[in-house]
Structure 1
Amino acid sequence: GTPGPGLVVDLDGCDRAEAMRTALSAADHAVVGRPLAVALLGGEPALARAAADHDVHLVVTDGSRGWTLLTPAGERHDGPAIEVDAVDATGAGDCFTGAYCAELDRGRSPLEAARFAAVAAGLSCTRPGARDGLPDRRAVESWLAAHPTPEVPEPTRTP
């Protein structure tokens, strides 16, 4: 069968750059919120370098501003957050990370997993509560079917 996703790390608990780098070096995939990533590692060039140096798929989430996937090969994919009438964003980041892990485990590529996770996180904001607001797989698939992804441009290469 297809190998699983390997080690996926949620970096949002890190409080020091050294801890974040240690986690990145152990991970195959890592998810982190942009404010923390920038505070501990630096801006875009530093984040892209971290993905390459640590051979990790790094997903940087940024709430309603969307997400960025930085690959070990130096590719950068940017994705939007879905537009929703947000009621409660509590747990949206955890929802993103959980959905990303689940999709990798189902054999999806990191890019497909991040797109799916962004929809799940967006839908989770439409109902109150970190747990009660979680969408099920059918709701996410239904949203994706109704909003097909436009032709995806080639990924941006970081110099």
Structure 2
Amino acid sequence: MTATAPPQVTVVGSVNRDIAIRLPRLPRPGETQSSCGVTARIGGKGANQAVAAARLGARTRWCGAVGEDGEEVLAALAAHGVDVSGAVRLPGTPTGTAWIFVDDAAENAIVLDAGANGLLAPDHVPALADGVVLLQHEVPDEVTALALATARAGDAVTVLNPAPFRPLAAATLESVDVLVVNGPELAGLAGSASVPATPDEARVLLAEVPGVEAVATLGAHGALIQRGRHVEHIPAPPVDAVETTGAGDTFCGALAAAMAGGAPLVEAAEYAVHAAALSVTGEGAQESMPDAAQVREFMTTGAVPAAP
């Protein structure tokens, strides 16, 4: 990254050590199961979304916190082409950790320890003035709110993925250009006890989200894009899913990368749907994220391309 090439995408968010545990099925309360294997990787929603954007060709900067054990984590992000000069190293605390349980149906459940992510402070975040600024909910709310407001006050486009879901203050929503939610997050945002299972159900809940352009990701059903009173459905291409971990993060990173390249929201969302569909055909979150050539080939031919 040079002074003459500012980041096209800046991600303010988390990074974790991911411990992925494969199981025949997700355990019920009180049940003990033997695993089919354990894999350690680098994850966290912020880091995942930054890697997705970088793999798709966007100049990408990640801003967040690691513990005193975080140098190899930062090296792993840098190896994917992510600028980690905005990283903060916090002594006396561990880097965040996530335990991810994945079953034979490619579904997952996650247990998260925030570690250094939970100690990221507003004054740790550098100036955010241009490009696309992408945030999530795995860092403190005051960091997210300030980063959104600062970016919005400049020339940046702000994208918020409120995951894991917490209610959003009105002032926070006012600083968001594009809101990206999955089914459970959409239900929480709309105050519904029912998670939408179909695009039609999601469309009803989107009508309860006022004043912001919103994208609802619906897994195998694709995505809905709401602009004003207009809602457009982008179906997902059929693929054989191996693991869904990181699909939502791939979507967010791809959406940001496409928007940073000048694509309008619907076009960017179509690109992101295809990128996310490709990501579930492999194992791991960052490991299965496609590059730009793979997404272009997939969108052109409909055939899942081989790994480069």
TM-score band by shorter chain is 0.7 to 0.9
Kept in 2, the 8 Å contact 1:4–1:107? The answer is no
Q: Is the counterpart of residue 33 in structure 1 residue 182 in structure 2?
A: yes
Structure 1 stretches of 4+ with a deviation exceeding 3 A read 20-23, 42-46
Provide the TM-score with structure 2 as the length reference. Answer: 0.42
Q: Is the counterpart of residue 76 in structure 1 residue 231 in structure 2?
A: yes
Kept in 2, the 8 Å contact 1:58–1:69? The answer is yes
Residue 67 of structure 1: how far off its partner (Å): 0.8
Bigger Rg over Cα: 2
Kept in 2, the 8 Å contact 1:92–1:130? The answer is yes
RMSD: 1.9
Distance 2:226 2:173 in 1: 13
What secondary structure does 1:7 align onto?
A: strand
Kept in 1, the 8 Å contact 2:250–2:279? The answer is yes
Quick one: structure 1 residues 66 and 20, their matched pair in 2 at CA, closer, same or farther if it must change by over 3 Å?
A: farther
Match of 1:10 among 151, 161, 164: 161
Kept in 1, the 8 Å contact 2:203–2:231? The answer is no
Sequence identity (%)? 32
What secondary structure does 1:64 align onto?
A: helix
Quick one: structure 1 residues 29 and 40, their matched pair in 2 at CA, closer, same or farther if it must change by over 3 Å?
A: closer
1:157 aligns to what? none
**Paired residues, what number?**
139
Q: Deviations over 1:121-148 (max 9, x none)?
A: 000001100011000000000111114x
Kept in 2, the 8 Å contact 1:82–1:122? The answer is yes
Provide the TM-score with structure 1 as the length reference. Answer: 0.79
1:65 aligns to what? 221
Match of 1:118 among 273, 279, 291: 273
Residue 4 of structure 1: how far off its partner (Å): 4.6
Residue 30 of structure 1: how far off its partner (Å): 1.1
Residue 22 of structure 1: how far off its partner (Å): 4.5
1:97 aligns to what? 252
Distance 1:20 1:117 in 2: 27
Larger proportion of helix: 1
The correspondence of residues 117-156 of structure 1 with structure 2, limited to 5 A, is: 117-147=272-302
